[in-house]
Amino acid sequence: MRHAPAARAVGLVALVVVVLLGSAYALGRSVVPDPPPAHSTLTTGGTGPHYADQPPAEDPPPHTPAGDDRSTGPVETGQDGGAHPDDTREPGPHDGPFGTQTTSGTSLVALTFDDGPDPNYTPQVLALLREHQVRATFCVVGENAQRHPDLVRAIAADGHTLCNHSWNHDVTLGRRSPAAIRADLLRTSAAIRAAVPDAPIAYYRQPGGAWTVQVVTVAQELGLTPLHWTVDPSDWQAPGADRIAAMVVAAVVPGSVVLLHDAGGDRQGTVDALHRILPDLAGRFEVEALPDGRT
């Protein structure tokens, strides 16, 4: 019985220690921020998918080939990691990330349209191209091709070149296994050919410009030329038709590959900019679709 007070004292001390430890944990949790929500690359609404225009902040930027010392400092990049139009370097045809094609390889200027087809914007783009007798290259997302095969047929019927742009605009596709990349690209090409069975698909463009060795290698193994660009007016940011047009008109030189979008968000500014871009470029250059591989 003489030991009871001592036992109670020990129990009381243990209780106090537990309470203090719990308070310290709660205080620590209150000053440590919760992790950010997972980044989503796709939302829906309007006429179809709206793709996020920038890789998540934690994603690495598109890579420069090992040993490439052409850059003397940071290069401002646009939506898909391409050089800003103010970058004055003169690229060769295959000096993009990991040897991707960045120019037409000739004096031709190539307009390219990513993320479609879209039932609102793609028909407007096609009508303007037809009006100015210009052919372009359309980098098609597989799920959109599946939803709108009539628009894929319209693109092909007007003589434009088709390019594979992955199944659902997966910016991280290049990090996946070669087998997963191959399955994605094959699924996308199958959706395009379901609409146009004999369609030649000569190019692949990685969403986000997030090129990796794996995705470049798989594309080449499938007979697709990895296609980057030289002029990016950042139309994905919807800066307005005047700014989009001014940037393209000022930046284009013979051989330029211009990155534009006919889907993935509000692209009316891009459509409206074409009213100035097309007559200006057609008056100074030969504007043509990239070759589709047919002789």
Catalytically active residues are 114, 261
**Cβ–Cβ contacts within 10 Å for residue 294, how many?**
8
State the number of CA atoms in the 13 A half-sphere of 185 facing the CB. 31
Determine how β-strand 137-140 pairs with β-strand 257-261. unpaired
Containing H/E element for 124? helix 121-131
* Consecutive H or E run containing 24: helix 4-31
> What's the helix, strand, coil split of the chain in %, to 5?
40, 15, 45
Which two three-digit tokens encode residue 115?
A: 């993320």
Q: Please report, to the nearest 10 degrees, the dihedral formed by the alpha carbons of residues 252, 76, 267, 156 taken in order.
A: 50
Task: Evaluate whether 263 touches 117 at the Cβ level (below 8 Å).
Answer: yes
CA distance linking residue 251 with residue 99, whole number of Å: 22
Cβ partners under 8 Å of residue 59, min gap 6: 171, 172, 208, 210
